[in-house]
Amino acid sequence: MIVPFAHVLILAAVVFVMGALCTLLRRNLVMILLGVEIMLNASGLALVGGSLRWMNLEGQALVLLVMAVAAAEVSVGLSLIVSSRRFTGSLNADAQNKLKG
């Protein structure tokens, strides 16, 4: 069964909006990082759907690049979250105003 390209794009858009809402509405730093990851997954889904639609492998190669960027972003983001937790004692994004220069 072949899924229509429009359905793949609609699913990617819904997942992206869910990630954006999670990023914008939550105040917890871990949840903000999770929202960014969900948005990266939605872009990967759209790239794979596009590459299947136009029968080329460039979109799937770009998804591997997106996954590598996501892995690097998670490692750097979690290390920043751990250090800011030690510094401020909270994971609330509003409590991070002490990090301003």
pLDDT at residue 51, as a whole number: 87
Q: Is residue 9 part of a domain?
A: no
Q: How far apart are CA 87 and CA 71, in angstroms?
A: 24
Mean pLDDT of 64-75: 91
Query: Residue 12 burial (CB < 10 Å; 0-12/13-18/19+)?
Result: buried
Total domains in the chain come to 1
Longest dimension (CA), the chain: 56
pLDDT at residue 52, as a whole number: 83
What integer best gives the mean pLDDT of the chain? Answer: 88
Q: Is residue 73 part of a domain?
A: yes
Question: What is the span of the domain harbouring residue 38?
Answer: 29-87
Dihedral sign (CA 70, 72, 75, 80): negative
Task: Quickly state the pLDDT bin for 98 (edges 50, 70, 90).
Answer: low
**What's at 4, amino acid-wise?**
P
pLDDT at residue 14, as a whole number: 98
β-sheet bridge partners, residue 92: 28
**pTM of the full predicted structure?**
0.85
